[in-house]
Amino acid sequence: MELLKERILRDGVFRPNGILKVDSFLNHQMDIDLINEIGREFARRFAGTKVTKILTIEASGIGIACIAAQYFHVPVVFAKKVKSKNLDGDVYTANVHSYTKGTDYIIRVAQRFIDKKDHVLLIDDFLANGRALLGLIEITRQAGAKVAGAGICIEKGFQEGGKIIRNMGVNLQSLAIVNVDDEGNLEFLK
Amino acid sequence: MELLKERILRDGVFRPNGILKVDSFLNHQMDIDLINEIGREFARRFAGTKVTKILTIEASGIGIACIAAQYFHVPVVFAKKVKSKNLDGDVYTANVHSYTKGTDYIIRVAQRFIDKKDHVLLIDDFLANGRALLGLIEITRQAGAKVAGAGICIEKGFQEGGKIIRNMGVNLQSLAIVNVDDEGNLEFLK
């Protein structure tokens, strides 16, 4: 997606060791016009794919998923990372390791919001090691639902997530696949 | 907002001691068509008010803020609750007590995303004791920016947040103000 790539080049911050910061337009401050175009692009890429629900994970994925859902006309469910008093009843859970935060956490989705009839499109802002996305796939499968595909804004092509997810047979659509080398130079692999 | 009130009556779960769960359409599973109407209603209520940025707090506020921002044509910034490696540089911080989770937490916004020229509209799903909203107001003031107003989906009228915020002179617009009594009966105060 050229618009996203241009924006990454213009406003992204790249640093050695694969660090790419896009917090001025994607995951802290959010450029809603850009995210609208991202939603439209996901709709184009998954046209013809049956989608009954979009599943994402808090926090950065939620805004992107909600804007995208306007094109799919389906509800959004977001997996929660923190056990709260508000999340009672039967839940699906998956364990996720965060390399960014250096910790494991459990994600949770109330069972009544995904069932075996659902065709679930997974949406998130980043794909790096793929642990969050694997957690969402695990929850979808626990529900007996079908993974309709996965839409990612930015995939780090130098990390293993994309390969793992594609090898599972999931239709993974990443709008930009980037490499950041040890000197902090960025190139697009796709 | 009648559409929201009807939905609360139809799909909300009320329990004694003021508990109101709306996780089937607002803050776990999200009905995007409803949230689009909520965004439109915020735009109507703040028509004529200068807004340059929408500020919300992760996680439940983000989707609502992003959908609403489509009507205001401004960026969304969401305050983060967790200190992460991705949030470096100068940040505004505020301490927030969560009655729901029984803990204090710190919210953070990178300083470069709000400045003194901004007119900041605060958006969140719930207003109860008002601690999260007070944190967002504190951050806006630290930035030297103006609080343009606050848009809340559901205000718990039996808790103190609404009174505190209105007494500060903030233009607080709550789309539904509810009371849930000790027997779990719900009524709309507005």
pLDDT at B85: 55
A112 or A87, higher pLDDT: A112
pLDDT at A2: 97
Range 33-52 of B in CB contact (< 8 A) with A: 33, 35-36
Taking the CA atoms of chain B, what radius of gyration do you get in angstroms? 16
Q: Among 3.40.50.2020, 3.40.50.300, 3.30.590.10, 1.20.59.20, name the CATH number for the domain at A2-8+21-79+112-178.
A: 3.40.50.2020
Interface test with B, best of A13, A40, A54, A62 (most B CBs within 10 A): A62
* pLDDT tens by residue, A8-65: 999 999 888 788 999 999 999 999 999 999 999 999 999 999 999 999 999 999 999 9
Taking the CA atoms of chain A, what radius of gyration do you get in angstroms? 16
- A75–B31: do the CB atoms touch at under 8 Å? yes
- Which residues of chain A have a CB within 8 Å of the CB of B37? none
pLDDT at B88: 66
Quote the CA–CA distance of B60 and A141 in Å, as a whole number: 25
Of B25, B30, B75, which has the smallest distance from its Cβ to A29's Cβ? Answer: B75
Using the predicted structure, report yes or no on whether residue A66 has a pLDDT greater than 80. Answer: yes
Task: Establish if B138 touches chain A: CB-CB under 8 angstroms.
Answer: no
Task: Establish if A29 touches chain B: CB-CB under 8 angstroms.
Answer: yes
Give the containing element (helix H, strand E) for B21. Answer: strand B19-21
Of B30, B74, B112, which has the smallest distance from its Cβ to A66's Cβ? Answer: B30
Q: What is the mean pLDDT of residues A167-189?
A: 94
Using the predicted structure, report yes or no on whether residue A115 has a pLDDT greater than 80. Answer: yes
Quote the CA–CA distance of B164 and A42 in Å, as a whole number: 42
* pLDDT tens by residue, B103-133: 888 999 999 999 999 999 999 999 999 999 9
- B101–A84: do the CB atoms touch at under 8 Å? yes
Please count the residue pairs, one from chain A and one from chain B, whose beta carbons lie less than 8 angstroms apart: 122
Of A35, A75, A109, which has the smallest distance from its Cβ to B66's Cβ? Answer: A35
Work out the angle at residue B62's Cα, subtended by the Cα atoms of residues B64 and A177, and round it to the nearest 5 degrees. Answer: 120
Quote the CA–CA distance of A85 and A67 in Å, as a whole number: 28
Using the predicted structure, report yes or no on whether residue A102 has a pLDDT greater than 60. Answer: yes
Range 93-132 of B in CB contact (< 8 A) with A: 100-102, 109-110, 112-113
pLDDT tier at A180, thresholds 50, 70, 90: confident
pLDDT at B28: 96
Of A5, A107, A101, whose CA–CA distance to A56 is shortest?
A107
Of A58, A67, A110, which has the smallest distance from its Cβ to B23's Cβ? Answer: A110
* pLDDT tens by residue, A127-166: 999 999 999 999 999 999 999 999 999 999 999 999 999 9
Q: Specify the long-range contacts of residues B106-111, CB closer than 8 Å, at least 24 apart.
A: B106/B81, B107/B57, B107/B79, B107/B80, B107/B81, B107/B132, B107/B135, B107/B136, B107/B139, B108/B79, B108/B80, B108/B81, B108/B83, B109/A28, B109/B55, B109/B77, B109/B79, B109/B80, B109/B139, B109/B143, B110/A23, B110/A28, B110/A29, B111/B143
pLDDT at B54: 98
The domain limits of chain B are: 2-79+114-188
Of B154, B122, B153, whose CA–CA distance to B138 is shortest?
B122
Single pTM value for the model: 0.95
pLDDT at A113: 98
Quote the CA–CA distance of B98 and A158 in Å, as a whole number: 39
Quote the CA–CA distance of B78 and A44 in Å, as a whole number: 28
pLDDT tier at A87, thresholds 50, 70, 90: low
pLDDT at B18: 81
Below-50 pLDDT ranges, chain B: none
pLDDT at A130: 97
The pair of three-digit structure tokens given for residue A15, joined into one six-digit string: 């640093």
The DSSP-derived string for B70-108 is: HHHT--EEEEBSS--TT--S-EEEEEEEETTTTEEEEEE
Task: Establish if A92 touches chain B: CB-CB under 8 angstroms.
Answer: no
- B148-165 as b/e: b if 16+ CB within 10 A: bbbbbbbbbbebebbebb
Quote the CA–CA distance of B122 and B55 in Å, as a whole number: 5
CATH fold, domain B2-79+114-188, is Rossmann fold (3.40.50)
Using the predicted structure, report yes or no on whether residue A84 has a pLDDT greater than 60. Answer: no
ipTM reported for the complex, 2 dp: 0.95
pLDDT tier at A117, thresholds 50, 70, 90: very high
- A62–B65: do the CB atoms touch at under 8 Å? no
Per the DSSP assignment, residues forming a β-bridge with B174 are B152
